[in-house]
């Protein structure tokens, strides 16, 4: 299965299981997503659950926050992480803080998913990796999907959480074909050992995980 198909499968299964799960973002509905991650969901669930938004990232995240407060489980897509900078006020000062500032009375079961990293024929303003911003923000859970298994199980895990999650993907992984391992005990907060060795430990994630595996000689 392609990496993007694993993400699509996770969204589909969660939307089928729980009618409070909705998706919103630029072109996520009728068009099926700029990277085809949300393909087919508009036709299956309709415009009230697969919501096309204006090109307004601050509004996308702000609306998702309101949806989460109101009892929905929104999954907001930002077309690339570079555009998420426009929504940083909503993410850092609202999304990350509301549960703490309300003494736990407000729950924010929401996910903001977005691709990042260097891709093909994109300018510097479209090629950034900004995970350090999110991991240093108290109140946010940051998750990355380094392969199809993490994409499928990780996104489902994130949607079921009652806390806000930033879910990061990589643009160059979308067309890659990968095997999904059955992982009923999947824990996104525990690192996987993908290759055993005896000399050094290499820690990586997202596309660099695959680049590293190519560079490490077979023993």
Tokens of 40: 């087919």
Residue with tokens 């093909």: 120
DSSP bridge partners of 51: 24
Residues 6+ apart with CB under 8 A from 144: 131, 150, 167, 168, 169, 205, 206
Residues in the chain: 219
**Residue 93 DSSP label:** I
Report CA-CA distances (Å) from 152 to 62, 157, 160, 183. Answer: 26, 9, 13, 10
Catalytic residues: 57, 126
């Amino acid at each position: 299965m392609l990496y993007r198909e694993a993400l699509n499968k996770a969204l589909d299964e969660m939307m089928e299981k729980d009618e409070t799960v909705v998706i919103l973002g630029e072109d996520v509905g009728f068009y099926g997503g700029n990277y085809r991650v949300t393909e087919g969901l508009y036709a299956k669930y309709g415009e009230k659950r697969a919501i096309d938004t204006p090109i307004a990232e601050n509004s996308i995240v702000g609306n998702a926050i309101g949806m989460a407060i109101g009892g929905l489980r929104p999954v907001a897509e930002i077309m690339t992480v570079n555009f998420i900078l426009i929504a940083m006020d909503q993410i850092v000062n609202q999304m990350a803080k509301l549960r703490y500032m309300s003494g736990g009375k407000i729950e924010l079961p929401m996910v903001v998913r977005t691709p990042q990293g260097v891709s093909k024929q994109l300018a510097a303003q479209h090629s950034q990796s900004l995970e350090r911003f999110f991991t240093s923000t108290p109140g946010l859970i940051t998750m990355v999907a380094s392969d199809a298994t993490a994409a499928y199980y990780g996104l489902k895990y994130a949607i079921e959480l009652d806390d806000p999650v930033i879910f990061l993907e990589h643009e160059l992984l979308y067309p890659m074909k990968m095997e999904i391992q059955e992982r009923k005990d999947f824990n996104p907060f525990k690192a996987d050992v993908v290759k055993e060795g005896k000399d050094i430990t290499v820690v990586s994630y997202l596309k660099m995980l695959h680049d590293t595996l190519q560079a490490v000689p077979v023993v």
